Chain A
Amino acid sequence: MSKLSFAYYPGCSLESSAKEYDVSTRKVADILEVELIEIPDWSCCGASPAHTVDHLFASAVAARNLAIVEEMGRDILVTPCPECLSAFKKAIYNMSKDDGFKKKVNSLLDKPFNLNVEAKSFLQILYEDVGKENISKKVIKPLIGVNIVPYYGCLLTRPPDVAQFDDPENPISMDTILETIGANVPYFSYKLECCGAAYGVTKRRIVTKLSGDILKTAIESGADAVAVACPLCQQNLDLRQDQINRDQGFDFHIPILYITQLMGLSFGLSASELMIDKHNVKSDHFLEKIEKGLKEKEKSEKESISSKN
């Protein structure tokens, strides 16, 4: 495999409340020999608020970054964050189908965006460009003995015309990666149900209801942990887990880990290197279960070798 190299957009959350997603993404990319070159002087994508003001404005806020990627001479922007991804994909989609709209967007920008860049999630790069064979080659500590359900959230695969990735109703990219790194992946019917998105601050009860339903379903599926790919989903399910318990009368303590942190564990990185200790819900029991699974595997392998001898 020739070395993959992309323009990298971390996004605002990943340099603050979701730092562990950035750190684990970069470490995993490094091990998989994917070069991520941070876009110089990137700005906020506009996220949810910009498109509630005006679509032209929202596209311009996003496209400033796409224009920088063009200047870098790159044709793919990669971001781990689905909200940023959606802002970029919508800007590209809307500008591509309407030349008048494109001109108006560019009239708001210092440097025009000429539609020579596409946006992809880091998950898409892992699944399609790196591929499960290359991922499996790096696995030295498979996550044996733990059940992990993949939670995709809304925007990685929807709407399909814009997202152009995986299945919009039953995505399998994270399922496949989790299986590749040795985890058991139970059936999870809530993999796409909205967590309540950005209403945590303004309408907490909506978020604790929707996120509570997701956690409840995950636990009923037998999950030891939930794998996520979105900093906002992670925050709602993890940082707000005590609020969920309080509002909804639950008593959940289920770790919510980024897919990149889980991959990093299987590649032999330590929990602290992957900043797993930076989450609200502790992962100690989950990590012990992985260690136990590995020891049992080693023991049974030794036994089968000695019985053959």
Chain B
Amino acid sequence: MALINLTTSTDENFVNQVETLSGQKISECYQCGKCTAGCPFSFAFDYPVSQIMRLIQIGQKEIVLNSKAIWLCATCEACTTRCPCQIDVANVMDICRIIARKENKVKEKDVKLFYDIFLESVKKHGRIFEIEILMKYNLKSGKLLTDADLGPKILPKGKLNFFPVNIKGKDSVEKIFTRFVEGIKNNE
């Protein structure tokens, strides 16, 4: 890891923001590394989870929000289950991802794109429409052949729906989305 000038780069507000939104006392982390030891995604992270915790403690907002790690955490809850300080580490990772989203700092754009398309499907139909999600993802990501090899394996099984299931109360689901967005606008 590169040298960090704490005098110029520490953002105390970020520490408070993460602690408030997650309800976790990040300062209680004493860097035992147990979360990283059990994290199945460490091999794919740019900063292992215990380093993310340390970076939050010292207010390194830019590094944390621009990390790949916060987007590659699968919320498997191993860290939360094992933290000797009872910190909900997976929740902290999730909160960092939420802040990164709000500040438009997204290191793993495809991951966010997939989530957004998934939620669009929920908003539109009330339930997800799997084929539509994959097709939209392939088009919008430009990775047109993603999982093309799985098509011949699953399509003949006749399980996938070729048409969306639109629930009767899909308006009430859509309203959750619109009320949420309006709430953010009203707070700004």
Contacts and interface: CB of A to CB of B under 8 A. Distances in A.
B95 to A, nearest CB: 8
Contacts of B108: 202-203
Interface string A232-270: 000000011011000000000000000000000000000
Contacts of A174: none
Interface string A193-206: 11011111111101
B167 interface: yes
A12 B75 contact: no
Contacts of B17: none
Nearest to B77: A158
A51 B44 contact: no
B76 interface: yes
Given A53-B98, A61-B176, A242-B149, A194 B154 contact: no
A178 interface: no
A54 to B, nearest CB: 6
Contacts of A46: 122
Interface core residue of A17, A49, A51, A193 (most chain B CB under 10 Å): A49
Contacts of A57: 176-177, 180
A109 B179 CA distance: 9
A53 B176 contact: no
B118 A49 contact: yes
A42 B80 CA distance: 30
Given A54-B98, A108-B179, A239-B154, A201 B147 contact: yes
Interface stretch (B8-16, B52-60, B125-133): B125-133
A109 B175 CA distance: 8
A280 B155 CA distance: 11
Contacts of B81: 158-160, 168-169
A41 interface: yes
Interface residues of B, number: 60
A172 interface: no
Given A51-B75, A159-B88, A210 B40 contact: yes
B29 to A, nearest CB: 16
Interface residues of A, number: 60
Main secondary structure of the interface of B (DSSP, over half): helix
Given A209-B43, A278-B157, A159 B80 contact: yes
A52 B88 contact: no
Contacts of A306: none
A12 B128 contact: yes
Contacts of A41: 126, 167-169
A115 interface: no
Contacts of A168: 81
Contacts of B75: 48, 51, 154, 197
Contacts of B180: 54, 56-57, 60, 108
A146 B137 CA distance: 41
B115 interface: yes
A107 interface: yes
Interface string B130-142: 1000100100010
A242 B153 contact: yes
30 contacts: A16-B130, A16-B159, A17-B160, A18-B159, A20-B159, A41-B167, A43-B167, A44-B128, A48-B115, A49-B115, A50-B122, A52-B101, A56-B180, A57-B176, A57-B177, A61-B122, A108-B183, A154-B75, A155-B76, A159-B77, A192-B78, A194-B40, A194-B41, A199-B74, A199-B111, A201-B134, A209-B43, A239-B150, A240-B150, A242-B149
Interface of A: 12-13, 15-20, 41-44, 46-57, 60-61, 64, 107-111, 154-155, 158-160, 168-169, 192-194, 196-204, 206, 209-210, 239-240, 242-243, 278, 280
